[in-house]
Amino acid sequence: MRSLVAKFTAATTWAFVSGALIAPTAFARISGGEGTYGATNDKVVTNFGFAIILLLPLLLAVLSVLQRRSEDREHEHLEAQSHRADLAEWQGGW
């Protein structure tokens, strides 16, 4: 028998996937096939593509720097913890 968490996860996943598959057609029918931006032409689509090309590497660089800083802090914390464990005042009990 599956656990309650597994059932909840399966039901939630099914709901999100089915909603994601149905939503685009619903929005297209309401607005006559026009997106939320409005009528588009080749220039709009090209500029959007250029924006993705420029912003995606920038986002990846920023996230990589943040991850690196987080890992550096983690290593500093672990080194400090190991140095504290070596000190005599931290060994033993009361």
Taking the whole predicted model, whether its pTM rises above 0.75 is answered as no
Q: Report which of 65, 85, 63 is spatially closest to residue 73, judged by C-alpha positions.
A: 65
- Higher per-residue confidence, 75 vs 23: 75
51 and 22 assigned to the same domain = no
46 and 88 assigned to the same domain = yes
35 and 57 assigned to the same domain = no
- Higher per-residue confidence, 64 vs 82: 64
Average pLDDT over the chain, rounded to whole?
A: 84
Enclosing domain of residue 87: 42-94
What tens digit of pLDDT does each residue of 38-58 get?
Answer: 778 899 889 999 999 999 999
- Higher per-residue confidence, 86 vs 52: 52
52 and 90 assigned to the same domain = yes
The pLDDT value given to residue 4:
84
59 and 88 assigned to the same domain = yes
The pLDDT value given to residue 21:
81
- For residues 30, 33, 34, 40, the Cα torsion angle rounded to the nearest 10 degrees is 180
49 and 93 assigned to the same domain = yes
Could you give the number of structural domains in the chain?
Answer: 2
27 C-beta neighbours (distance < 10 Å), count: 13
48 and 94 assigned to the same domain = yes
- Which residues contact residue 36 at a Cβ distance below 8 angstroms, ignoring those fewer than 6 apart? 27
